[in-house]
Amino acid sequence: MPGQQGQERKRPVPERQSVTRKPTQLKSEVAAYKRRRIIEEASHLFFANGYEATTLDAVAEQLHVTKPFIYSYYRNKSELLSEICQTGIQLSLTALDEALAVDGTATEQLKMVVDRVARIIIENQRYISVYLREEKSLDPDDARRIRDLRHQFDSQVAALLTKGKEHGEFAFDDASRTAIWVGGVLSWIANWYHEGGRWSATEVVMDAISVVMKIVAKRA
Amino acid sequence: MPGQQGQERKRPVPERQSVTRKPTQLKSEVAAYKRRRIIEEASHLFFANGYEATTLDAVAEQLHVTKPFIYSYYRNKSELLSEICQTGIQLSLTALDEALAVDGTATEQLKMVVDRVARIIIENQRYISVYLREEKSLDPDDARRIRDLRHQFDSQVAALLTKGKEHGEFAFDDASRTAIWVGGVLSWIANWYHEGGRWSATEVVMDAISVVMKIVAKRA
DNA sequence: GATATTTGCTACTGTCGGGTAGATAGACCT
DNA sequence: AGGTCTATCTACCCGACAGTAGCAAATATC
């Protein structure tokens, strides 16, 4: 998970006089691991039961710890949600960037983008779903930060679409609006895919690629 | 709003010995009106703040009444949610049925379906959005009833797609899966359209029609 | 105009859950 | 061994909110 800016916790590690800083480093690695585990369990419960309906006691129970344990790694409940939502788009955004880094025609790139992002969404469904469903529950500041990330995503897709149109590969009316439909196709996967359900991940990803390519293709 | 089965309230109107039943009828009309108003305000608040985060006191305040007033028309909070969600899909389903009643080629019918349903979704966004977002919070029984309605919707779309394919108008792999993508396009409108936003309702509806037709069209 | 019925309100209860203060147990140091 | 520090827990607080009991005002009935 990239882009994990080390937010300060309640009890910051002092990092005082130790000449060898190895032990201190290990400690902070352990702390980071605990934070990840908290988020992991929280995301499962938020996904299954919703943010408001999930209690921190329930999250603690999943980890076989108690509520104050969580509070020594996160300030409050909404910080958990914020981190989950951010992970959600951050994952998608990173997948998008990676796909765009590979060069090729706009058509090839767009296929690559949908393929990679769709797979990431399926693999990390609970983060994405929670993000899509619980945006309203975010603190205003976090909501803004996360909307910005989302906006980056849409802008980059729109830029790719524009490039494809200029090269005569795609045809559509308005790039921003079309990018939003592409985003819709991807989001829909998170709402609808169910592991072990009627359709396989591969089928869903292939469908998504096919749908997106049809949306932007010349001569319908 | 069709399909409004008069659920019994806490204090049922006795409807006893009156020979002329006019006055009693008026009374129940008034009661039905009050129920509708409660749902209307509740849907606004659920849409804006989420189901769990909305208090019944807040709903009551919007109506300039008090909480016990609501409890004399609905059994509990989750009954409000259930009615809102049901209204959500019921509206879509009714629009679908109306569109299917008009005859024409599968292509014409599908365009009609998307046009009408998309408009209904935009006009009743808060019901649809709440339904999509808060399904998890429904009582199990209500959830099942509402999933059945949703399933009807998807089945009818799938049937139309199959008909179009048989007539050589459409091309796709699997009708059920394609119907779900069509449903996705429509749902996406509810999540994303914003009245007075950057794009008009008409633009969004036209886009939706165009996207759906591209998804099912022969030769991409 | 007295009485019954309906309708909404005031005022309450009980519970749940986010958040915290302070204790305890282990690790670590010297 | 005694002292310090850190991580986690026990035990609590308090506010919010779903839901209710019972009253009061309005309205209908005779």
Judged by CB atoms closer than 8 Å, whether chains meet at B185 and A187 is answered as no
| pLDDT over threshold 60, residue B171 | yes
| pLDDT over threshold 90, residue B21 | no
Q: Does the nearest atom of strand C lie within 7 Å of A78's Cβ? A: yes
| pLDDT over threshold 80, residue B13 | no
Average pLDDT over residues A208-212: 98
| pLDDT over threshold 60, residue B3 | no
Nucleotides of C under 7 A from a protein CB: 6-11, 16-22, 29
Most B CBs within 10 Å, among A169, A180, A209, A212, to test the B interface = A180
Lowest mean pLDDT among A12-21, A158-167, B97-106, B151-160: A12-21
| pLDDT over threshold 90, residue B25 | no
pLDDT at A116: 98
| pLDDT over threshold 60, residue A2 | no
pLDDT band at A25 (very low <50, low <70, confident <90, very high): confident
Contact status, residue A205 vs residue A122, Cβ threshold 8 Å: yes
| B-chain residue closest to A49, CA distance | B136
Looking at chain B from residue 128 to 167, which residues have their Cβ under 8 Å from any Cβ of chain A?
132-134, 136-137
Give the residue whose CA sits closest to C21 at C1'.
Answer: A68
pLDDT at A24: 67
| pLDDT over threshold 60, residue B18 | no
From chain A, the residues in CB contact with B48 under 8 A are 136
- Smallest Cβ–Cβ distance between A192 and the set B133, B180, B220 belongs to B180
- The chain-wide mean pLDDT, for chain B, equals 90
| pLDDT over threshold 70, residue A145 | yes
pLDDT at A99: 98
pLDDT: is A119 or A19 the higher one?
A119
Average pLDDT over residues A35-52: 97
If DSSP states are collapsed to H, E and C, what string results for chain A? CCCCCCCCCCCCCCCCCCCCCHHHHHHHHHHHHHHHHHHHHHHHHHHHHCCCCCCHHHHHHHCCCCHHHHHCCCCCHHHHHHHHHHHHHHHHHHHHHHHHHCCCCHHHHHHHHHHHHHHHHHHCHHHHHHHHHHHHHCCHHHHHHHHHHHHHHHHHHHHHHHHHHHCCCECCCCHHHHHHHHHHHHHHHHHHCCCCCCCCHHHHHHHHHHHHHHHHECCC
- Nucleotide closest to residue A66 (CA–C1'): D9
Percent of chain A with pLDDT over 70: 88
- Smallest Cβ–Cβ distance between B211 and the set A49, A176, A181 belongs to A181
From chain B, the residues in CB contact with A150 under 8 A are none
Average pLDDT over residues A133-144: 95
- State whether residue B33 sits within 8 Å of chain A by CB: no
Looking at chain A from residue 172 to 191, which residues have their Cβ under 8 Å from any Cβ of chain B?
173, 176-177, 180-181, 184-185, 187-188, 191
- State whether residue A197 sits within 8 Å of chain B by CB: no
pLDDT at A81: 98
Cα distance between residue A185 and residue A208, in whole Å: 7
pTM (2 d.p.):
0.89
Contact status, residue A62 vs residue A41, Cβ threshold 8 Å: yes
pLDDT band at B136 (very low <50, low <70, confident <90, very high): very high
pLDDT at B113: 98
| pLDDT over threshold 90, residue B211 | yes
Give the residue whose CA sits closest to D19 at C1'.
Answer: B76
pLDDT band at A219 (very low <50, low <70, confident <90, very high): confident
| pLDDT over threshold 50, residue B2 | no
Average pLDDT over residues B119-128: 98
Amino acid at A86: Q
CA→C1' distance for A125 and D14 (Å): 37
Percent of chain B with pLDDT over 70: 88
| pLDDT over threshold 70, residue B15 | no
